[in-house]
Structure 1
Amino acid sequence: MVRMPLTPAEVERGERLGALLRRARGERSMLSVALDAGISPETLRKIESGRVATPAFSTIAAIADVLEISLDAVWDEVGSRTAETTARRIAS
């Protein structure tokens, strides 16, 4: 299966998501957060670095739960800008 390249908007969203999670993690180790969320440290590293720009919802929900941030906060930081950009493109 060939995966389509990410759009610039998806790359930007992944970078914003990674930055949000890094800030929320603070001084906690990547290892402890990943294990508490039930994911591998490598997966968390890739998400935080923006290399996985479109992680599964369940993965983000698990990380957000461990970091005690609401999914609404994640959406406000990451998803809403993408939705606004998409809406503008459709309206044009």
Structure 2
Amino acid sequence: MVRPPLSEQDRERGLRLGEILRAARGDRSIVEVAAQAGISVETLRKIETGRIPTPAFFTVVAIARAVDVSLDALDLRLDPVL
């Protein structure tokens, strides 16, 4: 199965997700948050910079838990661009 290319809106949403998660991380180190979320530092870095605009759901859940942000709060802040 071939994955369709991402739209500009998908990429923008990925950038917003990364910005929100980075802001929620605050002054905690990327190493600390990645370890708590059970993901690699490089994966977290790519999500925070928008280089992974559509991360796996359970990865987002793990990061959100690590930075104490609810999925509802993420949803509200990621209001889709229509």
Pick the TM interval, shorter chain. over 0.9
**Higher gyration radius (CA):** 1
Distance 2:45 2:2 in 1: 24
TM-score by length of 1: 0.83
Match of 1:18 in 2: 18
Root-mean-square deviation (CA), in Å? 1.2
- Alignment partner of 1:28: what SS? coil
Give the aligned length: 82
Q: Hey, what does 2:80 align to over in structure 1?
A: 81
CA distances 1:9-61 after superposition (whole Å, capped 9, x unpaired): 10000000000011000100001100100000000000000000000110000
- Displacement, 1:5? 2.2
Structure with the larger RCO, 1 or 2 (CA within 8 Å, 6+ apart): 2
Structure 1: which 5+ residue stretches go unaligned? 86-92
Unaligned runs of 5+ in 2: none
Q: Give the helix-richer structure, 1 or 2.
A: 1
Q: Which secondary structure state, in structure 1, belongs to the residue aligned with residue 80 of structure 2?
A: helix
User: Distance in 1 between the 2:31 and 2:2 partners?
Assistant: 31
> Following superposition, which runs of at least 4 residues in structure 1 exceed 6 angstroms of deviation?
none
CA shift digits 1:46-89 (9 cap, x unpaired) = 000000000011000000001011000111111x324xx1xxxx
